[in-house]
Amino acid sequence: MNPVRLFCVAAAAAATASLAGTGARDRAFWVDAAAGIANPVITNLAAGTLHRNMPRRAGTWTDQVAELEAFGRVMTGLGPWLELPDDDTPEGTLRARMRADALKALDNITRPGSPDRMPFDKPAQTLVDAAFLAQGLMRAPSNLWARVRGEVRSNVVECMKATRATKPYETNWLLFASEIEAFLLETTGECDMARLRYGMDAFMTRKGWYVGDGLYADGKDFAVDGYNAFVIQPMIYDVSHVMAAHGIADGEKYLALAKKRLRRFADIQERMIGPDGTYPLFGRSITYRFGTFQGLALAALLGPENYPAKPGAVRGALTAVLARQTGRENFLPGGWLRVGFNGEQQMLAERYIDYGSVYMCMAVFLPLGLPPDDAFWTEPESDWTQRAAWSGRPARIDHRQ
């Protein structure tokens, strides 16, 4: 177990010994899990040793960008938590330490000459994970990005612009380009508007890409997999929010549609979690683990009006999932995540999966961006849909959108 994880376990035990079954106990567990997963990536990148120390999976298509994959995906989940203000609690002390490391990491992954500098202009996969990094930075505008100054800020912006060398596929990849341009618009006031709009217009207006009942096809083809959660729903929300904020045509319309569809998608996701915290495996990228619940996690971060279940039920369901998949069997020595769904299961990994890819699981931790006094953390745990139904207690009826 890595040092940060040990720190969190000790802090959680001391702070919550008498709080069994409460939101405070759950939050301490979530912080422990998030920090434990993220720590090897952030601390190594802050020290300039990520390329040297991160495990490798032979024969993947993404080996050249594994460090950017790991950091971008960690930041997409950790961003809202790093955005919270500093305080003198054990959690606040840990957050300040990890934010400082994240700032150093951001320098090392974008600075020319750094041993962990990534080639943002090639290969194509850098478009994907630069977008996840942009997403994480947009989720922490005041307490992370605002602290990035001078040469580091310039390097980040230039690295993001370098991804324009990649033409995205006519799939969810279009949204990676849109996300990066939204970040550039937010941070510099300028962007490639055609590149920002193309993906959004494709998903929001092109016939057949929204298939109904809260679900989008991945381009012209619909697939039963996790990509509505990993990419499509969150990035459509992000970009439409930026479009609306900047008065771009269709921004308000797209944002209203994005929130309506996300609400239904979050409802579907809540209903997928079994009474014991298990959930079905289907589609590709199964090794992203509980990152598949980013839709529900984002809806929780945005507030209870964006999901129909009770906050205590959503927290209980996601906590049950985390308890299932954060045991020691999921970690290599040094705290690195194993490639698998629950343990070492290399047979479940496609050829584009490496040890950086699996940090997509961090997306589930978005509700940590809610302060401890938010209803998500203070409301008593209650039955989520499947636990209520399978126990014979009253459960919510389902309604298609």
User: For the purposes of burial, counting CB atoms within 10 Å of the CB of 258, is it exposed (0-12), middle (13-18) or buried (19 or more)?
Assistant: buried
Summarize the confidence of residues 98-109 as an average pLDDT. Answer: 98
Q: Report angle CA 397, 303, 386 to the nearest 5 degrees.
A: 30
How large is the average pLDDT for residues 212-216? 96
- For residue 285, being part of any structural domain is answered with yes
Residue 185 lies in a domain: yes
Residue 397 in any domain: the answer is: no
CATH code for position 70: 1.50.10
- The arithmetic mean of pLDDT across residues 235-260, rounded, is 98
3-state helix, strand, coil in the chain (%, to 5): 65, 0, 35
Distance between CA atoms of 299 and 366, rounded to whole angstroms? Answer: 9
Is 398 within a domain? Answer: no
89, 28 contact by CB (below 8 A): no
The secondary structure of residue 397, as a DSSP letter, is P
Percentage of the chain beyond pLDDT 90 is: 90
DSSP for 277-301 reads: S-----SS-GGGGGGGGHHHHHHHH
**Is the separation of the CB atoms in 27 and 61 below 8 Å?**
no
Domains of the chain: total: 1
Greater confidence, 62 or 230?
A: 230
In a domain, 401, yes or no: no
In a domain, 158, yes or no: yes
The predicted structure's pLDDT at residue 21: 60
Residue 111: burial class (beta carbons within 10 Å; 0-12, 13-18, 19+): middle
| Residue 314 domain-assigned (yes or no) | yes
The structure tokens listed for 154 are 């310039």
Please tell me the distance from the alpha carbon of residue 331 to that of residue 341, in angstroms, as a whole number: 11
Q: Write out pLDDT tens, residues 363-375.
A: 999 999 999 999 9
pLDDT-derived band at 1, boundaries 50, 70, 90? very low
pLDDT (0 to 100) of residue 64: 87
Reported as a single tens digit per residue, the pLDDT across 260-269 is 999 999 999 9
- Cα-Cα-Cα-Cα torsion 79, 82, 84, 88, nearest 10 degrees, comes to 160
Residue 399 within a domain: no
pLDDT at 201 (0 to 100): 96
Containing structural domain, residue 312: 3-391
